[in-house]
Amino acid sequence: MALLRTREAVVQRFRTVLSRHGLTEQQWRILRALDGHEGLEISLLAEQCRILLPSMTGILRRMEQRGLVRRYANQADGRSIRVRLTETAQALVEEIKPEVVGVYAEIERILGQRKLEQLYALLEELEAGLLEGGRRSGAV
Amino acid sequence: MALLRTREAVVQRFRTVLSRHGLTEQQWRILRALDGHEGLEISLLAEQCRILLPSMTGILRRMEQRGLVRRYANQADGRSIRVRLTETAQALVEEIKPEVVGVYAEIERILGQRKLEQLYALLEELEAGLLEGGRRSGAV
DNA sequence: TATTGTTATACTCTATAACTATA
DNA sequence: TATAGTTATAGAGTATAACAATA
């Protein structure tokens, strides 16, 4: 249960930071995924952010209304739609980054650098394995 | 971001298992917290599960309607209410446990026992530190 | 026919403020 | 006055199925 419980404590930290800027955790994942990209297809974005497509539609609609993202058509394939950040969104990401870094700094203060790196490595390995397994055998 | 991203993969595993039994992650946390206890006060339960009281009211109402928990008054203090599992709920917990263990087994298969223990220890330490810090300095 | 994305629908949780009743 | 819990509200994400447009 440790992962689930700890997650709750960590996520609440992030939610506090993000909600001050009117963002949810999912919206932040989308901002981060799009940051530094010319534009991503919605289905690719959904996969990277681990958000289902119907949820994605709603989340992107809210973000678009708020002027954070823009949809634009893909000339090569009329079905697919790409999304990219507006300048407003890029500025917002830069504004929030330091605060998010603050949360990580708190974590590092608690664990120390060596253990934080250990934790990070373990999580990466676990994530890779879970995705791999998920692809192979479907959801557990 | 590793913790947030990995969390998503892990949580989706659990959600898959739990939703087959019509449970949410929060309801599972409550079931686990109450399992093996005579009864817990709602505010204590909320703290342990990291769920806000107003959310708790709704979640408990749904669980009570489904016959999983029962509220009963505290004679010593007319304001506080205790909650405990019904036999149905206890049977359900026993039924689900092996499946949840299956998810942990998958994690152990990915990381190996030694690394899993490492991960567990790091998370425990992080959680304790976050709670400590949260109590001391407020959110973030 | 298969794929990309949206719509429809119903449910659950989050979060804040206001309120009730006990203490 | 303070505490335990509920109610009222509004908003947001999850999940499944059905659908439209394009390939």
B122 close to A118: Cβ distance less than 8 angstroms:
yes
Alpha carbon of B97: minimum distance to chain A alpha carbons (Å): 12
Structure tokens at A101: 């870094």
How many CB atoms neighbour CB B66 within 10 A? 15
C-alpha closest to that of A86 among A105, A102, A66 = A66
A64-115 per-position pLDDT tens digit: 999 999 999 988 899 999 999 999 999 999 999 888 888 888 888 888 999 9
Report the residue of chain B nearest A6, measured CA to CA: B127
Angle (CA) A53-A59-A63 rounded to 5° is 135
How many CB atoms neighbour CB B104 within 10 A? 14
The CATH fold of domain A2-134: Arc Repressor Mutant, subunit A (1.10.10)
CATH number of B2-137: 1.10.10.10
B65-105 per-position pLDDT tens digit: 999 999 999 888 999 999 999 999 999 999 999 988 888 88
> Which residues, 6 or more positions from B119, have their beta carbon under 8 angstroms from its beta carbon?
A2, A3, A119, A122, A123, A126, B111
Pick A9's closest partner by Cβ from B14, B102, B130: B130
Q: Phi and psi (nearest 5°) for B73?
A: -70, 155
- Measuring from the CA of residue B63 to each C1' atom, give the nucleotide at the shortest distance: C12
Strand C bases, protein C-beta under 7 A: 3-9, 12-18, 21-23
- Can you give the pLDDT at residue B11? 78
What confidence category does residue B138 fall into, taking pLDDT thresholds of 50, 70 and 90?
Answer: very low
Structure tokens at B18: 């739990």
B16-75 per-position pLDDT tens digit: 889 999 999 999 999 999 998 989 999 999 999 989 999 999 999 999 999 999 999 988
Q: Which residues of A touch B (CB under 8 A)?
A: 1-14, 16-17, 25, 29, 32, 50, 99, 102-103, 106-107, 109-111, 115, 118-120, 122-127, 129-131, 133-134, 139-140
